[in-house]
């Protein structure tokens, strides 16, 4: 886990709900970037869309639609 995600994770537990919500929103953004990086790495290593989709728990079509044209 990146340092940014660790920091955001601790902020997500803040007692101030607005601060916690902001941290959760930022975590979503960071995780989306990380997922895209990992999908790109998997594709560069020759892994197929079905393998990636299985790892993500989605359909092949869903992962291809999200990342296939980048």
pTM, two decimal places? 0.80
- Using alpha carbons, list the distances in angstroms from residue 58 to 11, 18, 33: 29, 31, 17
Residues 37 and 31: beta-carbon distance below 8 Å: no
pLDDT of residue 58: 97
pLDDT of residue 70: 61
Give the residue ranges of the chain where pLDDT is below 70. Answer: 1, 70
pLDDT of residue 6: 81
């Amino acid at each position: 886990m990146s340092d940014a995600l660790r920091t955001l994770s601790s902020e997500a537990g803040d007692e101030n709900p607005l601060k916690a919500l902001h941290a959760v929103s930022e975590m979503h953004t960071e995780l989306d970037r990380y997922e895209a990086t990992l999908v790109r790495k998997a594709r560069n290593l020759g892994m197929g869309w079905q393998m990636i989709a299985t790892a993500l728990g989605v359909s092949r079509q869903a992962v291809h639609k999200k990342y296939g044209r980048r």
